[in-house]
Structure 1
């Protein structure tokens, strides 16, 4: 039986799952997390506590546009990746709850084969015992053991037994 919280989640996710899957929406919802990565980078660069980074930033080879593009890429990738991961988690929870709800709604009756096996042999009908063959099917005179595979590996015509030792292939002549 599903709780009220789980039922509320199913209702919410049925209404919002397609809207939350859109990339633009994922970007907009994930920007705060992306900024959590970009703002400390800017703060450490502008604070001057790391002298070598400060020297690089003041050199003539430094291009602030490259830093800006890199920060935008970090924000974009982090925000979209985080929201897609979150969407996948919600979708998995939604599928699990739907499966549990459908399993709870089905009647709890045992299968017919289990019900027959639980009845004592004296109460089974004669037709049920006659339906079970006592002889093996045609073409299989004895059951396969664990040592004999049903299909032999490639290159062997018959299954190997313990009495037949395996011989290595002949070595090629080396010149």
Structure 2
């Protein structure tokens, strides 16, 4: 027997599963986490706590675009991975609930 919350989740996921696949929805969910990682990386670089790394960065200015590209790639990966993982988890939960509701006959 499914609980009320499980039935509500089934209804929600049936309505919204295709909306969750859209690119704009993915960005709105995963982008804050990705930007948090990017901010932490830039704060770490700007703090200069590792003197040797700061010297290397200041000595070779061509490393700055490389760091920016790397941070952008990290943000994109985190956005795509986190949203895809969340969607897969919801889809798995939905399929488990559907399977459970179909396997037990209703009285």
Please tell me the root mean square deviation across aligned C-alpha atoms, in Å: 1.7
CA distance in 1 between counterparts of 2:81 and 2:87 reads 10
Query: Which structure dedicates a bigger proportion of its chain to helix?
Result: 2
Whose Rg is larger? Answer: 1
Q: Distance in 1 between matches of 2:52 and 2:34?
A: 25
Residue 62, structure 1, aligned to residue 37, structure 2 = no
The alignment's TM-score, normalised by the length of structure 2, stands at 0.89
Gaps of 5+ in 2: none
Q: Which runs of 5+ in 1 are unaligned?
A: 108-175
Asked if the contact 1:34/1:78 (under 8 Å) is kept, the reply is yes
Deviations 1:72-97 (A, max 9, x none): 11011111101101110100000010
- Structure 2 equivalent of residue 51 of structure 1: 51
**How many corresponding residue pairs?**
107
How is 1:126-141 mapped onto 2 (pairs within 5 angstroms)? none
- 1:60 Cα deviation (Å)? 3.1
In the alignment, what sits opposite 1:17? 17
Question: C-alpha separation between the residues in 2 aligned to 1:24 and 1:102?
Answer: 34
Moved over 6 A (4+): none
Once residues 73 and 87 of structure 1 are traced to their aligned partners in structure 2, the CA distance between those partners, rounded to angstroms, is 21
Q: For residue 81 of structure 1, what is the aligned residue in structure 2?
A: 81
What is the match of residue 103 of structure 2?
103
Q: CA deviation at 1:50?
A: 0.8
Which stretch shows the higher mean deviation, 56-65 or 13-22? 56-65
Deviation per CA, 1:105-162: give whole Å up to 9, x if none: 367xxxxxxxxxxxxxxxxxxxxxxxxxxxxxxxxxxxxxxxxxxxxxxxxxxxxxxx
CA offset at residue 23 of structure 1?
A: 3.4
| 1:32 alignment partner in structure 2 | 32
Which fold has the larger relative contact order, with Cα–Cα distance below 8 Å and residues 6 or more apart in sequence? 2
State the distance in 1 between where 2:70 and 2:2 align.
Answer: 46
Aligned partners of 2:56, 2:19: CA distance in 1, in Å?
44
